[in-house]
Amino acid sequence: MLGLGAGLLALAGGGVFAYDQFLSGGQGPTAAAKSFIQALDDGDAVEVRSLAATDSPIQDVSESDLAPFDTAELEVQRTAVQAQTETSARIEADVSTAGDAASSTLSIHLQKSDGEWLVERIMNLNAGGFLQSSAEESGEQAAEQVTNRLVEVNTVGTVGMDASGAPAVTTVEMTVRLAPGSGDVTLDEIVVQLVQSNGSFTLAAADASGVDEVDGGFVVTPLRDNDSSIESNAALNDPVDRATLEIGLDGEGFNIESYLSAGSTAEVQLQTSSGGHTTITLVVPEALDGKDTVSL
Protein backbone atom coordinates (compact mmCIF):
# COMPACT_ATOMS: atom_id res chain seq x y z
CA MET A 1 0.00 0.00 0.00
CA LEU A 2 2.84 2.47 -0.38
CA GLY A 3 0.41 5.30 -1.08
CA LEU A 4 -1.11 3.17 -3.80
CA GLY A 5 -4.63 2.73 -2.58
CA ALA A 6 -5.26 -0.38 -0.54
CA GLY A 7 -1.84 -2.00 -1.22
CA LEU A 8 1.05 -1.83 1.21
CA LEU A 9 0.09 1.46 2.88
CA ALA A 10 -3.05 -0.17 4.23
CA LEU A 11 -0.79 -2.07 6.58
CA ALA A 12 -0.03 1.11 8.49
CA GLY A 13 -2.35 3.40 10.41
CA GLY A 14 -1.89 7.15 10.78
CA GLY A 15 0.98 7.33 8.29
CA VAL A 16 3.23 4.88 10.15
CA PHE A 17 4.30 1.49 8.90
CA ALA A 18 4.74 -0.91 11.82
CA TYR A 19 6.70 -3.88 10.58
CA ASP A 20 7.49 -6.42 13.29
CA GLN A 21 10.70 -7.60 11.67
CA PHE A 22 12.75 -7.35 8.51
CA LEU A 23 15.37 -10.04 7.95
CA SER A 24 18.52 -8.48 6.52
CA GLY A 25 20.89 -11.41 6.19
CA GLY A 26 23.67 -9.95 8.30
CA GLN A 27 23.73 -6.62 6.45
CA GLY A 28 24.26 -3.27 8.10
CA PRO A 29 21.22 -1.04 8.70
CA THR A 30 21.67 0.99 5.51
CA ALA A 31 22.00 -2.14 3.39
CA ALA A 32 18.96 -3.66 5.11
CA ALA A 33 16.89 -0.59 4.23
CA LYS A 34 18.07 -0.70 0.62
CA SER A 35 17.24 -4.40 0.39
CA PHE A 36 13.65 -3.70 1.33
CA ILE A 37 13.36 -0.94 -1.28
CA GLN A 38 14.91 -3.25 -3.88
CA ALA A 39 12.36 -5.95 -3.08
CA LEU A 40 9.57 -3.45 -3.70
CA ASP A 41 11.17 -2.34 -6.94
CA ASP A 42 11.25 -5.93 -8.16
CA GLY A 43 7.53 -6.24 -7.44
CA ASP A 44 8.15 -9.76 -6.14
CA ALA A 45 5.69 -10.43 -3.31
CA VAL A 46 7.36 -13.73 -2.48
CA GLU A 47 10.68 -11.98 -1.97
CA VAL A 48 9.04 -9.18 0.03
CA ARG A 49 7.39 -11.71 2.31
CA SER A 50 10.66 -13.60 2.70
CA LEU A 51 12.19 -10.44 4.17
CA ALA A 52 9.48 -10.19 6.84
CA ALA A 53 8.94 -12.06 10.08
CA THR A 54 6.23 -14.71 10.17
CA ASP A 55 3.99 -12.48 12.32
CA SER A 56 4.59 -9.32 10.28
CA PRO A 57 1.66 -7.75 8.41
CA ILE A 58 3.88 -7.79 5.32
CA GLN A 59 3.14 -11.50 5.14
CA ASP A 60 -0.24 -10.45 3.71
CA VAL A 61 1.30 -8.62 0.75
CA SER A 62 0.15 -10.03 -2.59
CA GLU A 63 1.34 -9.64 -6.16
CA SER A 64 -1.59 -7.29 -6.82
CA ASP A 65 -0.45 -5.02 -3.98
CA LEU A 66 2.87 -4.59 -5.76
CA ALA A 67 1.40 -4.20 -9.25
CA PRO A 68 2.05 -0.41 -9.35
CA PHE A 69 5.77 -1.14 -9.13
CA ASP A 70 5.71 -3.22 -12.34
CA THR A 71 6.07 -0.10 -14.46
CA ALA A 72 8.06 1.99 -11.98
CA GLU A 73 11.81 1.74 -11.60
CA LEU A 74 12.70 2.89 -8.11
CA GLU A 75 15.94 4.77 -7.56
CA VAL A 76 17.50 5.48 -4.17
CA GLN A 77 18.83 9.01 -4.51
CA ARG A 78 20.33 9.33 -1.06
CA THR A 79 20.67 7.48 2.22
CA ALA A 80 21.88 8.85 5.52
CA VAL A 81 22.28 7.39 8.98
CA GLN A 82 20.32 9.76 11.21
CA ALA A 83 21.03 7.89 14.44
CA GLN A 84 22.71 4.61 15.35
CA THR A 85 23.65 2.68 18.47
CA GLU A 86 24.72 -0.94 18.85
CA THR A 87 21.09 -2.07 18.83
CA SER A 88 19.07 0.56 16.93
CA ALA A 89 19.37 2.75 13.87
CA ARG A 90 17.35 5.23 11.86
CA ILE A 91 18.05 5.52 8.13
CA GLU A 92 16.67 8.27 5.92
CA ALA A 93 16.28 7.42 2.25
CA ASP A 94 15.15 9.61 -0.66
CA VAL A 95 13.49 7.43 -3.28
CA SER A 96 12.16 8.38 -6.71
CA THR A 97 11.10 6.72 -9.94
CA ALA A 98 13.44 6.75 -12.91
CA GLY A 99 13.13 10.01 -14.83
CA ASP A 100 11.11 11.74 -12.10
CA ALA A 101 12.78 14.62 -10.29
CA ALA A 102 10.37 14.36 -7.35
CA SER A 103 11.35 12.02 -4.55
CA SER A 104 9.76 10.60 -1.43
CA THR A 105 11.60 10.51 1.89
CA LEU A 106 11.43 7.39 4.02
CA SER A 107 12.54 7.41 7.65
CA ILE A 108 13.34 3.77 8.35
CA HIS A 109 13.74 2.60 11.95
CA LEU A 110 15.69 -0.58 12.57
CA GLN A 111 16.53 -2.73 15.59
CA LYS A 112 19.35 -5.26 15.80
CA SER A 113 18.32 -8.71 17.04
CA ASP A 114 20.55 -11.80 17.11
CA GLY A 115 23.05 -10.03 14.86
CA GLU A 116 20.46 -9.09 12.24
CA TRP A 117 19.21 -5.59 11.41
CA LEU A 118 15.41 -5.67 11.34
CA VAL A 119 13.15 -2.89 10.10
CA GLU A 120 10.90 -1.87 12.96
CA ARG A 121 8.85 0.81 11.22
CA ILE A 122 8.91 3.31 8.40
CA MET A 123 7.69 6.89 8.82
CA ASN A 124 7.43 10.18 7.00
CA LEU A 125 6.33 8.93 3.60
CA ASN A 126 5.68 12.25 1.92
CA ALA A 127 3.33 12.26 -1.00
CA GLY A 128 4.74 12.41 -4.50
CA GLY A 129 6.46 10.23 -7.06
CA PHE A 130 5.90 6.50 -6.76
CA LEU A 131 3.89 6.79 -3.55
CA GLN A 132 0.72 7.90 -5.30
CA SER A 133 -1.46 6.37 -7.98
CA SER A 134 -1.99 9.68 -9.80
CA ALA A 135 -0.48 13.15 -10.07
CA GLU A 136 -3.73 14.68 -8.84
CA GLU A 137 -3.76 12.59 -5.67
CA SER A 138 -0.10 13.38 -5.15
CA GLY A 139 -0.62 17.12 -5.37
CA GLU A 140 -3.60 17.13 -3.03
CA GLN A 141 -1.92 15.01 -0.38
CA ALA A 142 1.38 16.88 -0.66
CA ALA A 143 -0.46 20.14 0.00
CA GLU A 144 -2.11 18.65 3.08
CA GLN A 145 1.22 17.40 4.37
CA VAL A 146 2.78 20.83 4.02
CA THR A 147 -0.10 22.67 5.70
CA ASN A 148 -1.73 20.24 8.14
CA ARG A 149 0.99 19.97 10.72
CA LEU A 150 2.00 21.10 14.18
CA VAL A 151 4.77 23.27 15.57
CA GLU A 152 6.25 23.24 19.06
CA VAL A 153 5.70 26.20 21.35
CA ASN A 154 7.80 24.91 24.25
CA THR A 155 8.64 21.66 26.01
CA VAL A 156 9.30 21.03 29.69
CA GLY A 157 10.24 17.92 31.62
CA THR A 158 9.22 16.86 35.11
CA VAL A 159 12.19 15.64 37.14
CA GLY A 160 11.83 12.54 39.29
CA MET A 161 13.82 9.37 39.89
CA ASP A 162 14.52 6.54 37.48
CA ALA A 163 14.43 2.87 38.47
CA SER A 164 17.92 3.10 39.98
CA GLY A 165 17.08 6.17 42.06
CA ALA A 166 19.02 8.63 39.92
CA PRO A 167 17.46 11.97 38.91
CA ALA A 168 15.82 11.77 35.49
CA VAL A 169 13.04 13.30 33.43
CA THR A 170 9.96 11.19 34.06
CA THR A 171 7.37 13.18 32.08
CA VAL A 172 7.63 15.32 28.94
CA GLU A 173 4.99 18.02 28.38
CA MET A 174 5.07 19.51 24.90
CA THR A 175 2.93 22.53 24.03
CA VAL A 176 1.90 22.60 20.37
CA ARG A 177 -0.07 24.80 18.00
CA LEU A 178 -0.99 24.74 14.32
CA ALA A 179 1.73 25.58 11.82
CA PRO A 180 1.12 28.81 9.86
CA GLY A 181 -1.47 28.12 7.16
CA SER A 182 -2.32 24.70 8.59
CA GLY A 183 -5.77 23.20 8.39
CA ASP A 184 -7.41 21.58 11.41
CA VAL A 185 -5.41 18.86 13.19
CA THR A 186 -7.10 16.29 15.43
CA LEU A 187 -4.61 15.48 18.16
CA ASP A 188 -5.98 12.06 19.07
CA GLU A 189 -5.28 10.97 15.47
CA ILE A 190 -1.60 11.94 15.38
CA VAL A 191 1.25 9.48 15.85
CA VAL A 192 4.15 10.37 18.13
CA GLN A 193 7.52 8.72 17.69
CA LEU A 194 10.05 9.06 20.52
CA VAL A 195 13.58 8.15 19.45
CA GLN A 196 16.24 7.64 22.14
CA SER A 197 19.66 6.04 22.25
CA ASN A 198 18.15 2.80 23.54
CA GLY A 199 15.48 2.53 20.86
CA SER A 200 12.32 4.13 19.52
CA PHE A 201 8.71 4.08 20.72
CA THR A 202 5.46 4.66 18.87
CA LEU A 203 2.75 6.44 20.86
CA ALA A 204 -0.94 7.07 20.27
CA ALA A 205 -3.42 9.19 22.19
CA ALA A 206 -4.29 7.44 25.45
CA ASP A 207 -8.01 7.45 24.62
CA ALA A 208 -7.55 6.35 21.00
CA SER A 209 -8.79 2.93 19.96
CA GLY A 210 -5.35 1.86 18.70
CA VAL A 211 -3.35 2.70 21.84
CA ASP A 212 -3.12 -1.01 22.79
CA GLU A 213 -1.47 -1.75 19.44
CA VAL A 214 1.51 0.59 19.94
CA ASP A 215 4.19 1.03 22.60
CA GLY A 216 2.33 3.51 24.78
CA GLY A 217 0.10 6.55 24.98
CA PHE A 218 0.13 10.31 25.45
CA VAL A 219 -2.44 12.63 27.03
CA VAL A 220 -3.91 15.70 25.30
CA THR A 221 -4.75 18.68 27.53
CA PRO A 222 -6.25 22.00 26.27
CA LEU A 223 -4.36 25.17 27.18
CA ARG A 224 -6.13 27.75 24.99
CA ASP A 225 -9.37 26.68 23.37
CA ASN A 226 -11.80 29.43 22.38
CA ASP A 227 -14.55 27.16 21.03
CA SER A 228 -13.92 24.00 23.11
CA SER A 229 -12.81 22.12 19.98
CA ILE A 230 -9.86 20.58 21.84
CA GLU A 231 -11.93 19.59 24.82
CA SER A 232 -14.73 18.07 22.73
CA ASN A 233 -12.87 16.65 19.72
CA ALA A 234 -9.14 17.03 20.53
CA ALA A 235 -9.00 19.32 17.48
CA LEU A 236 -6.81 22.38 16.95
CA ASN A 237 -8.85 24.54 14.55
CA ASP A 238 -7.60 28.06 15.22
CA PRO A 239 -4.12 29.63 15.15
CA VAL A 240 -4.53 30.70 18.78
CA ASP A 241 -5.34 27.17 20.00
CA ARG A 242 -2.76 25.59 22.29
CA ALA A 243 -2.62 22.09 23.75
CA THR A 244 -0.09 19.99 25.63
CA LEU A 245 0.95 16.47 24.72
CA GLU A 246 2.03 14.71 27.90
CA ILE A 247 4.33 11.71 27.49
CA GLY A 248 4.96 9.65 30.61
CA LEU A 249 8.27 7.81 30.82
CA ASP A 250 7.87 5.90 34.10
CA GLY A 251 6.20 2.75 32.78
CA GLU A 252 2.99 3.26 34.74
CA GLY A 253 -0.33 2.57 33.02
CA PHE A 254 -0.01 3.33 29.30
CA ASN A 255 3.32 5.19 29.85
CA ILE A 256 6.45 3.78 28.30
CA GLU A 257 9.39 3.07 30.60
CA SER A 258 12.30 4.99 29.14
CA TYR A 259 13.56 7.79 31.37
CA LEU A 260 15.61 10.72 30.04
CA SER A 261 18.79 10.96 32.07
CA ALA A 262 20.87 14.07 32.71
CA GLY A 263 22.75 15.21 29.61
CA SER A 264 20.84 12.92 27.25
CA THR A 265 19.07 13.83 24.02
CA ALA A 266 16.00 12.46 22.28
CA GLU A 267 13.95 13.19 19.20
CA VAL A 268 10.17 13.50 19.04
CA GLN A 269 8.45 13.13 15.68
CA LEU A 270 4.84 14.25 15.31
CA GLN A 271 2.92 12.98 12.30
CA THR A 272 -0.63 14.11 11.56
CA SER A 273 -3.24 11.91 9.90
CA SER A 274 -2.62 13.70 6.58
CA GLY A 275 1.12 13.00 6.81
CA GLY A 276 2.36 16.39 8.01
CA HIS A 277 5.60 15.82 9.87
CA THR A 278 7.37 17.77 12.63
CA THR A 279 10.64 16.80 14.33
CA ILE A 280 11.62 18.20 17.73
CA THR A 281 14.94 17.61 19.48
CA LEU A 282 14.91 17.33 23.28
CA VAL A 283 18.09 18.16 25.21
CA VAL A 284 18.18 17.36 28.93
CA PRO A 285 20.37 19.63 31.10
CA GLU A 286 23.58 18.17 32.46
CA ALA A 287 22.44 18.68 36.08
CA LEU A 288 19.02 17.62 37.39
CA ASP A 289 19.67 17.50 41.14
CA GLY A 290 17.37 19.75 43.12
CA LYS A 291 15.15 20.60 40.16
CA ASP A 292 11.43 19.89 39.79
CA THR A 293 11.10 20.85 36.12
CA VAL A 294 13.52 21.66 33.31
CA SER A 295 13.25 23.14 29.84
CA LEU A 296 13.99 20.59 27.13
Amino acid 7: pLDDT? 35
In the chain, DSSP assigns E strands to 17-18, 74-84, 88-97, 104-113, 116-123, 150-161, 167-178, 185-186, 191-196, 199-205, 216-224, 235-236, 242-248, 260-261, 265-271, 277-283, 293-295
In this structure, are residues 235 and 177 in contact, taking their beta carbons and an 8 Å threshold? no
pLDDT in the model for residue 124? 45
pLDDT along the chain (296 residues), means of 10: 36 33 56 81 77 60 70 79 79 76 72 77 46 37 57 92 94 91 88 88 83 85 92 91 94 91 92 84 91 92
So what's the pLDDT on residue 56?
53
d(CA 258, CA 260): 7
For 180: left if phi > 0, alpha if psi spans -120 to 50, otherwise beta; the answer is beta
Residue 129: the pLDDT is: 33
- Is the CB of residue 195 less than 8 Å from the CB of residue 256? no
Topology annotation, domain 148-295: Immunoglobulin-like (2.60.40)
pLDDT at 101: 64
Hey, where are the domains in the chain? 8-145, 148-295
Evaluate whether 8-145 and 148-295 have a shared fold: no
Q: How much is the pLDDT for 174?
A: 94
The reply to whether CATH 3.10.450.50 applies to domain 8-145 is yes
Could you give the count of Cα atoms lying within 13 Å of 21 in the half-sphere of its Cβ?
14
Amino acid 68: pLDDT:
67
Looking at residue 250, what is its pLDDT? 92
Closest CA to 244 of 158, 145, 144, 126: 158
pTM across the whole model? 0.55
Secondary structure letter of residue 29 according to DSSP: H
Q: For position 186, what pLDDT does the model report?
A: 92
Nearest residue to 9 via CA among 141, 186, 206: 141
